[in-house]
Structure 1
Amino acid sequence: MAMGIRENEQSSLWIATSELPKSPGHPFYTRLNALLDAHDFDRFVEGQCRSFYAPVMGRPSLAPGRYFRLLLVGYFEGLDSERGIAWRATDSLAVRTFLRLPLDEPPPDHSTISRTRRVMELETHRAVFTWVQERLVEAGLLKGKTVAIDATTLEANAAMRSIVRRATEETYQEFLTGLAKASGIQTPTREELARLDRKRKKKTSNKEWTNPNDPDAKVAKMKDGRTHLAHKAEHAVDLETVAIVAVTLQGADQGDTTTIADTTTAAADQIEDAQADVTEPQPLEEIIADKGYHSNQTMVDLDAVDIRSYIAEPDRGRRDWSDAPDAQAPVYRNRRRIRGRRGRRLMRQRGERIERSFAHLYDTGGMRRTHLRGHTNILKRLLIHAGGFNLGLVMRHLIGVGTPRGLQGRLAAILTTLFVLLSAAPRRLTTILASHRRLAVRRSRPTSPTALVVNSSPMATCVAVGTTVNPPPPARIRTGRIAAYGSYLGCMASKRTFG
């Protein structure tokens, strides 16, 4: 057979649309599109975004339904940047099918996605988040009675080397050089500046330093111990269904006792908006949080709005209530609740279910390090990410999986189970046949003097003559004092039986 010779490749001048490659679509995205179409998602977002589009002018726009689907792809595929989302839309035929993008139309680039995000307001993204919560209410996956609150840090898109002093606007390098000259070093080298920086007490406070590129980013210590510019994301999660009720974004330098008020207010508003069509809506009644959120003012505020608190209390020793007499009763009631059986159970569930939302949104969802600047821009993507998480709960309720990767894992698990069952069947059949052979041999064996060991033990052994009895299975052999006691009982029984 003669070897084929590669000819010069030249694309066809004309090609029929019917001959273009087509994708049947990913099963998960196909079912998700059916869910969105069943509730008129595109018509809803077009009505919300109508004021942001001009009738006829400017560059071709990105349809609202396609824009929000692109952000959902960012969550489900774990893409951290809008460049990655645009590349994924170009590369995958299944994603193009989910976006309703014809093959003869190029996908939107990252600049179009960014421009659309900047034009649309934050409240529009919040309305889409509320629309997803309404689907949760319809499926019975959002109760709203018991809500847990916790926070995590997101690495900002800004470097520590770019910070400047608020008063003089000098960089950190210029600040160290001024310190070196004040100490007598007129022309300090880089090594001398590093040595001086190590020796001095660190006072890189947010009151004195800021980043000119992202003023919302604050100096904070990350989970791994690094000092970095960061943001603080706070979640309110329904403890019964693991659905995300509210997401807020604050400065990383704000304490938990300060931010819990905004998150609680946002959670109460979202629960009310999501149950707008419910005859008897369930209001927010209980807040669960760790000891970082405990303070006298927090207890007083929650008690004033008739919300029961299950907030862990740090060990502060014996308290003097002369300065804050109004806080004594709420603090004592909270202490009594968290020490009860239900309080301990709620605290265990809080750590498990809050961390699950963090893992899905920021670790596998790709938002642990942000590529956007400004709280408004970041919160827009966070809200749609949280909406994708809640849509995953609805999809898990409908088809058993909540992400496209989960569907792949489910198929692998089914194939593995079938392989194990098929491989175990011959071994099971061999075991059954062998047991039948041993039984036939024992039945054909004549009666002879046989030693019967009732229970093996160094303390007692009983022997019966003239009887054939099958030995006990190995799983029933006992050891230690239990074996000795069993052997003793066995000997007594044999004496009564055989005289």
Structure 2
Amino acid sequence: MQGRKNYTEKLFISFQLSDRIPEENLYGRLRETLALSFLYKDTEELYGRTGNPSIDPVVFFKLLITGYLENITSDRKLVEHCGMRMDVLYFLGYDLDEELPWHSTISRTRQLYPASLFEALFNKVFALCVDSGMVSGHTQAVDSAPIKANASMESVVPKMPATPMDDHMKKVSEENQETAKKHVGTVSPARVSAPEHELKRVEKHHRNLRDSPVRPAGASHKKARLLSNKTHYSPRDPDARISVKPGKARKLNYHCSMAVDTAEGVISHIQSDFADGRDSQYLIDISLQVQDRLRKNELVMTDLLAEVIPMAPTTIFSNKGRLPGGYPSSGDINLK
């Protein structure tokens, strides 16, 4: 006989989330493994003694972890997604009939907490991975990628000249004057800090672009061809930098570098830098940060895999010397 399901909401139900979450579910295992109670003590000084209760610090960081695992960058979409997932609600410690924190509360809390608190949580999770035997330590792989800033190229305006410049740079400032007035608002204008010889090189490059009959890849209009970090910036996101990859349009980006332990793919370090720098500029600092984190967990790094420039295997760390800039070394690390 053919069955037919009729749905009628019940006024009273007997239901427990824990009964509906499989034992091998990722969020169920995280709830049992990841102890974040230390965050209460670490965040205590950030709150006053009166007023309405804030979002639970443990819930806040669990929401960020969920956003990373689900690849959700919008706080509004993150809250909507969590409300539809029983396993995530169980991980957060919320029942079906409880309202999740407002998305704007997540944004404000993120601005309240210092970077050191996020790093403390990262170190705690990394230590748990080490204790579980997921980290070998001896071989680390480093790679980087541009991360799009939350600002468009249309927001880019000229920097105010620190000293009188040639006719070309004045012309660029005049052409962008209306745009500058529209976007700068109350933000203090940036000043041109590049030396004169670099500005001359930028001017020569712009002149070659104007005289060339072939438009460069990714240039959709004339203005995009004349933008440089030496002479322009975004008042909406002053730390963002103009960068471009071959065959791609110019965008305002950040430079994100990540180190991964090759044993189980555990992230051992991650950092963001200005997008106008090269991978090789940030490699030494990344190596030192990874080495320090591994040392605190009684592990030693011996090999570092990175794509910097085509070169033969070279020792960049040595027990016999010091790193460029006077940084001390504690082991032999071969750059493959």
**Same fold by TM (over 0.5)?**
yes
- The yes-or-no answer on 1:235 pairing with 2:258 is yes
Question: 1:288 touches 1:309 (CA, 8 Å); kept in 2?
Answer: no
Would you say the 8 A contact 1:257–1:293 is kept in 2? no
Partner of 2:144, secondary structure, is strand
> What is the 5 A alignment of 1:90-489?
90-167=83-160, 175-176=174-175, 202-222=225-245, 225-273=248-296, 275=297, 281-292=298-309, 301=323, 305=329, 307-311=331-335
Question: What are the superposed Cα offsets for residues 393-433 of structure 1, whole Å, 9 maximum, x if unpaired?
Answer: xxxxxxxxxxxxxxxxxxxxxxxxxxxxxxxxxxxxxxxxx
- Give the letter aligned to residue 256 of structure 1: D
The letter of the residue matching 1:85 is: L
- In structure 2, do the counterparts of structure 1 residues 173 and 286 end up closer, same or farther at CA, with 3 Å as the change threshold? same
TM-score normalised over the length of structure 1? 0.48
How far did 1:55 drift?
A: 2.7
Cross-structure match for 1:356: none
Q: CA RMSD in A?
A: 3.5
Separation in structure 1 between the aligned mates of residue 69 and residue 280 of structure 2, nearest angstrom: 33
Aligned residues: 271
CA distance in 2: counterparts of 1:83 and 1:162, whole angstroms: 24
Instruction: Give me the whole-angstrom Cα distance separating, in 2, the residues matched to 1:204 and 1:120.
Output: 35
* Structure 1 runs of 4+ with >4 Å offset: 18-23, 172-175, 197-201, 293-300
Residue in structure 2 matching 1:82, options 55, 75, 79: 75
Cα contact 1:238–1:245 (8 A) shared by 2: yes
2:146 is paired with a residue whose SS is: strand
Alpha-carbon distance in structure 1 between the residues aligned to 2:152 and 2:43: 35
Which residue does the alignment assign to 2:21? 25
**Hey, what does 1:496 align to over in structure 2?**
none
Unaligned runs of 5+ in 2: 1-7, 163-168, 178-214
Q: 2:158, 2:173 within 8 Å by CA — same for their partners in 1?
A: no
- Structure 2 vs 1, CA of residues 146 and 93 (structure 1 numbering), >3 Å: closer, same or farther? closer
Deviation digits for residues 450-497 of structure 1, max 9, x if unmatched? Answer: xxxxxxxxxxxxxxxxxxxxxxxxxxxxxxxxxxxxxxxxxxxxxxxx
Any gaps of 5 or more consecutive residues in structure 1?
1-8, 179-193, 276-280, 312-346, 348-499
> Structure 2 vs 1, CA of residues 116 and 199 (structure 1 numbering), >3 Å: closer, same or farther?
closer
> Structure 1's 294 and 99: CA in aligned 2 closer, same or farther, altered over 3 A?
same
1:400 counterpart residue number: none
Query: Structure 2 counterpart of 1:285, which letter?
Result: T
2 CA distance for matches of 1:255 and 1:305? 23
The amino acid of 2:58's aligned partner reads: G
Match of 1:35 in 2: 33
2:224–2:250 CA contact under 8 A, matched in 1: no
1:175 is displaced (CA, Å) by 4.4
**Which residue of 2 is the match for residue 67 of structure 1?**
60
Deviations 1:437-457 (A, max 9, x none): xxxxxxxxxxxxxxxxxxxxx
SS at match of 2:238: coil
TM-score (norm 2): 0.70
Bigger proportion of residues as helix = 1
Amino acid at match of 1:290: E
Cα displacement string for residues 172-222 of structure 1 (whole angstroms, at most 9, x for unaligned residues): 9974478xxxxxxxxxxxxxxx9xx96799342111111001111100114
Q: Which has the larger radius of gyration?
A: 1
1:55-111 Cα deviation digits (max 9, x unpaired): 3314x3111111111111112222121111111122333322221113343111111
Paired residue type of 1:44: F
The secondary structure found in structure 1 opposite 2:283 is helix
Aligned pair in 2 of structure 1 residues 53, 105: CA closer, same or farther (>3 Å)? farther
Higher strand content, 1 or 2? 2
Pick closer, same or farther for the CA change 1:57–1:143 going to 2, 3 Å. same
Structure 1 letter corresponding to 2:61: F
